[in-house]
Amino acid sequence: MPSLLSTFEFIRDRRRILRLPSAKPSARAIYHAWLQLRRYPKANRDKPLAIELGNFTIHAQNWLELEFLFNEVFIGNEYLVKLPRRDPFIIDCGANIGCATLYFKLHYPDARILAFEPNPFCFEMLKKNVEANGLKNVALVQAACANAPGTTTFHVNPGFSPMSSAIGNRDEKQKTVPIEVRLVKLSDSIHEDVDLLKLDIEGGEWEVFADLVASGKLARIHRMAIEYHHRYGTTEVKMSRFLKILEDAGYTYSVGVDIKAERRFMGVFQDVMIYAVKLGMEERT
């Protein structure tokens, strides 16, 4: 028998999902996918699974990863953006299993997307989700973006891939598996203006920006949705320097962070969302 609190939380979340702004394929489709996740048997949550999202199917390595990514991307609308054309060029760095790629395709069916993902296990799911859903004009690259080509050690979190990183282990409770992955320069793939760069690469954003600035390709990117990893793998505080790069390159930005009240003055690691847009290209209501 569900508790009164859990019933209240269910009604609250249901109402919030059914009222999602700009929901694709629809708020009701997102709600039904969320229901599939809620009702998924706990005994099978460490195994591969798939859920239906309207006419699409999302495949994942385990329930925990899909539940996190689905809430972040489809319910949290983390990548909602108004782009000025029907066929935007979008780069997805840190594509994981492809939830953001699918999200962009749902909102812009004619979009051309270039997706990078170094984790071989996630890459296979990314490829499966692109092929199973018939996504066109999506190019996939199994590599991590950095400031120079080559290889590096990548720390795979086997139970929760969003915390895998080339920087190190984010989750001290979970032992990571080190593997060798390919490195590429993002600038080598930018030959035209980029309508949107989504960058979520667990601490590697500094190397990517070093490449973009040195190559002059930063100027070709109109908008960016960046998950900045503040104090990841270091005690050094340098976020202001990262924002200064954006300011000097002619961007304005919005910043958002979700941190528990009791941790606000602890100087701890934070995931910070930075939404940057070229001056003069700001959205108008």
225-241 residue pLDDT tens: 999 998 877 778 899 99
8-state DSSP, 241: H
Q: Which two tokens stand for residue 230?
A: 């503040």
- Please, what is the end-to-end C-alpha distance for the chain in angstroms? 46
Q: What is the mean pLDDT of residues 242-253?
A: 97
Q: How far is CA 231 from the centre of its chain?
A: 19
Residue 4 has pLDDT above 70, yes or no: no
Q: What is the pLDDT of residues 88-143, one digit of tens each?
A: 999 999 999 999 999 999 999 999 999 999 999 999 999 999 999 999 999 999 99
Q: Per DSSP, what are the bridge partners of residue 141? A: 116
Please name the residues in contact with 235: beta carbons below 8 A apart, sequence gap of 6 or more.
Answer: none
Residue 29's pLDDT is 98
Are 30 and 75 in contact by the 8 Å Cβ rule? The answer is yes
Residue where the block lists tokens 């930075």: 274
Of 284 and 219, more confident: 219
Average pLDDT over residues 33-60: 97
**16: which 2 tokens?**
């919030």
Q: Which residue in this structure is represented by tokens 């599939």?
A: 36
DSSP single-letter state for residue 172: T
**Tens-digit pLDDT profile for residues 15-46:** 999 999 999 999 999 999 999 999 999 999 99
Q: pLDDT, tens digit, for every residue of 163-178?
A: 888 877 666 667 888 9
pLDDT (0 to 100) of residue 1:
45
pLDDT at residue number 5: 60
DSSP of 177-240: EEEEEEEEEGGGG--S-BSEEEE--TTTHHHHHHHHHHHTGGGGB-EEEEEEEETSS-S---HH
Tens digit of each residue's pLDDT (9 = 90 or more) over 191-224: 999 999 999 998 899 999 999 999 999 999 999 9
Quote the mean pLDDT of the chain. Answer: 93
Strand, coil or helix: 27:
helix
Residue 8 per-residue DSSP state? H
What whole-number distance in Å separates Cα of residue 199 and Cα of residue 11?
A: 33
- Count of CA atoms in the C-beta half-sphere (13 A) of 33: 31
What pLDDT score does 174 carry? Answer: 72
Q: Which amino acid is at 263?
A: R
Q: Which of 194, 190, 179, 178 is nearest to 251 (CA)?
A: 194
Domain spanning 79-278, CATH class: alpha beta
Structural tokens at position 6: 């859990």
114 strand-pairing partners: 91, 139
Report helix, strand or coil for 265: coil
Range 74-87 average pLDDT: 96
Q: Encoding tokens for residue 53?
A: 């999202």
**What percent of the chain has pLDDT above 70?**
96
Domain ranges for the chain: 1-73, 79-278
